Amino acid sequence: MKKGQVLGKQRQSNGFTLIEILVVATIIGLLAAVVSMSYSQFNKQSRDAKRKTDLEQIRAALEMYRSNNDQYSAYTGNCSSYTALTSPTKYISSMPSDPKSGYFYYCNISTSDYTIAAYLESAGTACVAGQCGNTCNYCLDAYGQK
């Protein structure tokens, strides 16, 4: 009998075969891809939720302003530059800004009505709010979501 054989059988090696290593690497790669896609989607949804909450805060402040002054203060443009709600009366402590750079909240306010808008990353149908054009897909007015 040869050295290393036990009754007609050869001794097994302690290493892994190339096929086993490739299978494990493929499974790990697929799991990493699924986790990263889920994480990315979760981030988009959380930023969209913050956008909706921010617009609701602006909407509430506009309604308080109108309640005290019998009309809205006219403004058109990026909401972060709209100061009628922040000074001197403090209807809102500070105008919220979008959680991702390159995005903004758009305000189109007349003395009798308003539309405030944002771009959601996840979903939504286009809504027109002045200069925001078709890029905004989430709009609010005095009666709620448009």
Give a yes or no: residue 38 inside a domain.
no
Which range marks the domain in which residue 72 is found?
A: 49-145
Q: Which residues contact 72 (CB under 8 A, 6 or more apart)?
A: 62, 65, 66, 109, 110, 111, 112, 113, 114
Instruction: Output 15 or 91, whichever has higher pLDDT.
Output: 91
Give a yes or no: residue 136 inside a domain.
yes
**Would you say 92 and 65 are in contact if contact means Cβ atoms under 8 Å apart?**
no
Give a yes or no: residue 40 inside a domain.
no
Structure pTM? 0.74
Q: Which of 55-59, 67-71, 123-127 has the lowest mean pLDDT?
A: 123-127
Give a yes or no: residue 69 inside a domain.
yes
Give a yes or no: residue 125 inside a domain.
yes
Distance, in Å, from the CA atom of 7 to the CA atom of 134, rounded to the nearest integer, reads 79
Q: Write out pLDDT tens, residues 19-40.
A: 999 999 999 999 998 888 888 8
What total number of domains does the chain contain?
1
Instruction: Output 75 or 9, whichever has higher pLDDT.
Output: 75
Q: Which residues contact 52 (CB under 8 A, 6 or more apart)?
A: 118, 120, 138
Give a yes or no: residue 135 inside a domain.
yes
pLDDT > 90 fraction of the chain, expressed in percent and rounded: 42
Q: Write out pLDDT tens, residues 68-96.
A: 999 999 999 899 899 999 888 789 998 99
